[in-house]
Structure 1
């Protein structure tokens, strides 16, 4: 059975702009993110009118994802179903800080983090390996509920990264060179037999509904002009 999922990263938040790690902290969308969510809703409504079926809308239970899903829900008349397993990675003590602050406050842990060791977990947080398997397990009941269906999943950059790595066979240690864009649409087909067996990326990083412009996920602050 093939289930197609439209993975959508939440719209922009104030913390996205300053590269502050959110993790499980429940940050709302910025005004720009609310605008992006509206544009997303209009896009998917237009696609539905043109005959593109959408069977369900799933979302991380964090506010920024729910707020992004809401205009789609209203446009298509579908409820938003919540799944805690679709949350962003838990960054523990790193949450609420940017990379420069983490390097200053947790120098040893920061150095370990930079090695890309998938077994490393921030203090009180989740390792990349634990997070990856949590994401794949969270998808299994969604796929089981929608065999041969087409659904939207509104989630976070880290979740999208896990999905892309799984679909393309990339290791957790491999540096990322694919986009994770606010309110971007990323389409993946899953072949299943009771559990996830294979995935194929159909389209990635589509932000045509945003005029082709959206910010990428990442932890490094962008230098201000003249600095």
Structure 2
């Protein structure tokens, strides 16, 4: 049985613009993000009128994801179902800072972070490996509830990164070479083979509903010395 999931990154926030790490801090959408979410909802509504069904919509419980999910839910007459499992990575003490500030305040931890060690966790935070397993674990009950369904999951850049790596068998240590765009639609088919879950990317990084470019998830790069 195949379940198709439209993974959607939340719309733009003020902190996205300045590359400040949000993590679990509950930042709302910027007005630009509200507009992006409305355009996405209208685009999916048009697809629905042309026969593209949507059986359910799930979202991270953080505000920026919920706000992005709501226009889609309204378009299909659905209720947004929330799960903490689709939250962004918990960056602990790094949250609220950009990379320059992290390097200044936590130089040793910053240096370790830059090695791409998936076991590294910021102080009071979560490692990439922990995030990866959390996301996959959170998907299991969602897939169980929607066998042969077509659903949407509104989440965050870190969550989408985990999904792409899982579907393509890419190690956590590998540098990212795929986009994680605000309000992008990323379609993935999931199948269960006994206890095993398999995934296949159908399409990735679709922002055709937007009139201009969409910002990629990422941190501010340090200025050269």
TM-score bracket for this pair, using the shorter chain length: over 0.9
Cα displacement string for residues 156-188 of structure 1 (whole angstroms, at most 9, x for unaligned residues): 000000000000000000000100000000000
TM-score normalised per structure 1 = 0.96
Kept in 2, the 8 Å contact 1:118–1:128? The answer is: yes
Instruction: After TM superposition, give the deviation of residue 197 of structure 1 in Å.
Output: 1.5
- Deviations 1:84-122 (Å, cap 9, x if unpaired)? 100000000000000000000000000000000000000
CA–CA distance in structure 1, aligned partners of residues 18 and 2 of structure 2: 39
Counterparts in 2 of 1:145 and 1:120: CA distance versus 1, 3 Å? same
Unmatched segments (≥5 aa) in structure 1? none
Q: Find runs of 4+ consecutive structure 1 residues off by over 4 angstroms.
A: 193-196
Shift of 1:15: 0.1
Partner of 1:215: 215
Partner residue in 2 for 1:96: 96
CA RMSD of aligned residues (A): 1.2
**Superposed displacement of residue 213, structure 1:** 1.6
Alignment of 1:97-136 (within 5 A): 97-136=97-136
Measure the CA separation in 2 of the matches of 1:23 and 1:120.
15
Q: Residue 144 of structure 1 contacts residue 194 of structure 1 at CA under 8 Å; is this kept in 2?
A: no
Q: Distance in 2 between matches of 1:150 and 1:68?
A: 18
CA distance in 1, matches of 2:206, 2:222: 23
What is residue 7 of structure 2 aligned with on the other side? Answer: 7
Deviations 1:22-54 (A, max 9, x none): 000000000000000000100110010000010
Q: SS of 2:209's equivalent?
A: helix
CA contact (8 A) 1:190 1:196 kept: no
For 1:65, the equivalent position in structure 2 comes to 65
Whether the 8 Å CA contact 2:98–2:219 is kept in 1: the answer is yes
In 2, distance between residues paired with 1:82 and 1:148?
21
TM-score (norm 2): 0.97
Task: Check if 1:199 corresponds to 2:194.
Answer: no
Q: Does 1:29 align with 2:47?
A: no
User: Do the aligned partners of 1:2 and 1:147 also contact (CA within 8 Å) in 2?
Assistant: yes
In 1, distance between residues paired with 2:11 and 2:186? Answer: 14
Q: Distance in 2 between matches of 1:155 and 1:212?
A: 21
Q: Secondary structure at the match of 1:174?
A: coil
